[in-house]
Structure 1
Amino acid sequence: MNWIILIIAGLFEVGFTSCLGKAKGTTGTEMYWWYGGFGICLLLSMGLLMKATQSLPLGTAYAVWTGIGAVGTVLMGIVIFKEPADFWRIFFIFTLIASIVGLKAVSSH
């Protein structure tokens, strides 16, 4: 169950970084809504990460959490913010995913 909580925490990390990206391109009230979303996603992400690390190894949980956030944020950048999707970016996304899966595989929990 704590792995599921950790994955959800990582998805909220993608949420708060995406909200930052959207807030950067707006002004006025819309900008504050995006910053509000950032704050909510940040609190949920950190809270779920704290919950998951109560029973998962801290180093593994943190690496998986940041990995989900990094991969998800890069993919959101490509899909939503029209960032480039060249060979090397995709290659290194896959190596990061392989590392996350490897950490999960060797974890004792």
Structure 2
Amino acid sequence: MNTTWIKVFVAAFFEVFWVIGLKHADDFWAWTGTVISIIISFYLMIVAGRKIPVGTVYAVFVGMGTAGTVFSEIIFFGEPFKIGKIILISLLLVGVIGLKLVTKDKVEEGADS
């Protein structure tokens, strides 16, 4: 795995924080963290889009962010665990992994940064 894909995964990780922040932020520091997470997330996604097709970057970013947000809401915020939701999120992740596996980077493997 090259650093471009790592940037996509880190961007999705920060997406979870800002999505949760949009729902739960209620003071200056929570909103500050939310805004910082948005900036980091979108910056990394934009940088990754220079070397990987933008449609794939966005699909992986949103898919992983959605899964992370759903699992975080269940674990940390008491959302009910519904097997149907988990099955559908799993199906989404299978599609995201499939996209990653069939997508070729725009640069050679050894030239990532």
TM-score normalised over the length of structure 2: 0.87
Q: What code does the residue aligned with 1:4 have? A: I
Structure 1 equivalent of residue 89 of structure 2: 93
Q: What code does the residue aligned with 2:85 have? A: R
> Is 1:70–2:72 an aligned residue pair?
no
Gaps of 5+ in 2: 106-113
CA contact (8 A) 1:20 1:34 kept: no
**Identity in percent:** 35
Structure 2 equivalent of residue 8 of structure 1: 10
> Is 1:54–2:47 an aligned residue pair?
no
Shift of 1:20: 2.1
* Equivalent pairs, count: 103
* Residue from 27, 32, 39 that aligns with 1:36: 32
Moved over 6 A (4+): none
Q: Deviation per CA, 1:17-74: give whole Å up to 9, x if none.
A: 1222321xx4xxxx22111111000000010111100100010000000111100110
Counterpart-to-counterpart distance in 2, 1:11 and 1:90:
19
Gaps of 5+ in 1: none
Partner-residue secondary structure (3-state), 1:54:
coil
